[in-house]
Chains A and B, each alone.
Chain A
Amino acid sequence: MKAKIIVSIVVAILLSCVVDAKEYAYSSDNTTEFSVANRWDKLIEELPEGIAEEIKDISAFETGDTISTVKEKADIRYWIGNIWDELIKSISSHLPRFLPIFAIILLLAGAKITLPQTSSALSASFLVFGKLCLAILVIRSTYLIIDLANDYLNSVCNIMNLLTPVMQAVYLAEGSLTKMSISTSAVMLVVTAIGNINSQVMTPCVNVLFTLSAVASVCDEVNLSSLTATIRRFIMRMWQIITIAFSFMLGTQSVIASSADNLAAKTVKFALGSIIPMAGGVLAEAFNTVREGLSFIKTATGIGGIITILLILLPGIVPLIIYKLSIIVCAFVADLLKLDGEKIFLEDVKGITEILIAIVLYTSMMFVFSIILFTKSQVG
């Protein structure tokens, strides 16, 4: 069993550094080796830091050493430990961001109670000032999270980009020109579309949402919550449509998904639908596809393949979830301390974080789909 895992991990790693079939078939000089090494280095560069550290000692040309290196890492406990470390690292690095927000909420609540009621205009000026400080702090930390999500999306798109020529090469070697053109163009389209939508649509929309939320939080008389909710709904609907289109385009819905829908699957689908309010619907629908695809990857590469995918996806998703939880706690405290304006603003920020989580989950789903397609091209 262990040997199977070792071999499958090695095969998975080596397959990922396979380059153009033409070079393998017709060229035997050093340039081919140089090209493969380049691709390997590029792939290692694109991987998240932790994973790159894990596999940097593995060379594409020294299979004997590779097996001995991988043997040490074949133990499942080693990888579970890695996942746990990654989770702890994410939590400890992102939780302190929530402290200043919490401190300002407490300060504002204390000031609101103790400020003299005789000079109400003065108290009102101070409270507006406090709201502004809170808004800037929250927006600043949310932009940091957005940057983190953008980096993650770029990294995932780059990995998908690197898989495409390999997949193309394998299909070409098989002589399946139609499969090659459909699969690779679909993956490339997904990658391009995700990049363009993020830069051209998402960032301006999030900016607009922030502006409206900040204005509404500072001016109590202005109620913009319905407008912000409409914009949020619009963004989510757009993403749902795009994701469904891409899911069909990648061809995984019909190819991979089976009709099996047992109790465990239904529970997870329900959880996805209810925990992630906006993204959950589509994710729940795609759950069967992802589950079947992951079991396919498990068969092809062993549990190591799934754990590697998890290690790639976790650093992007965990900080967003932690941030959302922090905002929920702050909104709850603001509600307890009767800071209504602040609570509404934090609820709006929670909505923006939900959008980010949805985008990251959709992209992760696309990433899993492309990995499934890639694995199918190698195995099939």
Chain B
Amino acid sequence: MTTLFLLCGLSIIAVFAEAIIKELHPEYAKWLVLAFALVCIASVIPGIKDSVSFLKSISSITENKYTGMILKALGITYLSSLACEICNSADGGHINTYIEMVSRVEIIILTIPLFQELLEMVLI
């Protein structure tokens, strides 16, 4: 909760700072946005770690590999979405499209063994 308040305060400061920097040095404005995004990610990471360890414990209780696989795919999705957003904010052009494509390929690579397993179960 404290982190959230801190982030809200920081975001208001960042908005004003961006407006001022845009007037004085427009080339530094996107670096400010990028720095703010990195601060946001850094503040969320400890919470993510706790959540992931909790989900891993659920996965070990239920004794199945699929929960872990879904978590992995979820991680890929969140990470690439975040990267895409940062690229968008920093006027990264089409870089976000490539990030999205690569992450989709990653998910497809994860999916292939599942398809194989499904086919083996159902057809063979």
Do B114 and A123 touch (CB < 8 A)? no
Is A76 part of the contact surface with B, judged by Cβ < 8 Å?
Answer: no
- Chain A proximity mask over B48-71: 1 for CB below 8 Å, otherwise 0: 000000010011011110110111
Give the bracket for the number of chain B residues in contact with chain A. Answer: 35 or more
Complexed CA–CA distance, A123 and B107 (Å):
11
Are B117 and A125 touching (Cβ within 8 A)? no
- Nearest-neighbour CB distance to chain A for B64, whole angstroms, equals 4
A100-145, CB < 8 A from B: 100, 103-104, 107-108, 111, 115-116, 118-119, 121-123, 125-126, 128-130, 132-137, 139-140, 143
Q: How many A-B residue pairs have CB under 8 A?
A: 97
- Smallest beta-carbon distance A86→chain B, Å: 25
Q: Are the C-beta atoms of A107 and B77 separated by less than 8 Å?
A: no
Determine if B16 is an interface residue (Cβ-Cβ < 8 Å).
Answer: no
- Determine the main DSSP class of B at the interface with A: helix
A contact patch SS: helix
Interface string of B25-40 (1 = CB under 8 A from A): 0000000000000000
Bound complex: CA A119 to CA B98 (Å): 12
| Chain A residue at minimum C-beta to C-beta distance from B67 | A103
Give A324 to B111 CA distance when docked, in angstroms. 28
Least CB distance from B85 to A in Å reads 7
Query: Chain A interface: which size bin?
Result: 20 to 34
Q: How far is the CA of A133 from the CA of B76 in the complex (A)?
A: 16
List residues of chain B with CB within 8 A of the CB of A134: 66
Would you call B73 an interface residue if the criterion is a C-beta within 8 Å of the partner chain's C-beta atoms? yes
Stretch of A7-15, A166-174, A207-215, A246-254 lying at the B interface: A207-215
Q: From residue B56, how far is it (CB to closest CB) to chain A in Å? A: 12
Does B15 sit at the interface, judged by CB under 8 A?
no
Cβ contacts under 8 Å, A137 to chain B = 64, 66
A residues 135-163 in Cβ contact with B at 8 Å:
135-137, 139-140, 143
Residues in A neighbouring B108, C-beta threshold 8 A: 125
Q: Name the residue on A nearest B105 (C-beta).
A: A125
**Complex Cα–Cα for A126 and B110 (A):** 10
| Chain A residues within 8 Å of B67, by CB | 100, 103-104, 107
B121 engages A139 (CB within 8 Å): yes
Q: Which residues of B contact A201 (CB under 8 A)?
A: none
Contact among A111, A116, A119 for B74, CB-based, below 8 A: A111
Of the A-B pairs whose beta carbons lie under 8 Å apart in the complex, a sample of 27, sorted by A's number, is: A99-B61, A99-B62, A100-B62, A100-B64, A103-B58, A103-B62, A103-B67, A107-B55, A111-B70, A111-B74, A111-B77, A116-B85, A118-B85, A118-B88, A119-B100, A122-B77, A122-B103, A122-B104, A123-B77, A125-B107, A126-B73, A129-B114, A133-B69, A133-B70, A139-B121, A139-B122, A210-B121
- Known: A122-B77, A122-B81; 6 extra A-B contacts, CB below 8 A, are A118-B88, A126-B107, A132-B115, A137-B66, A139-B118, A211-B123
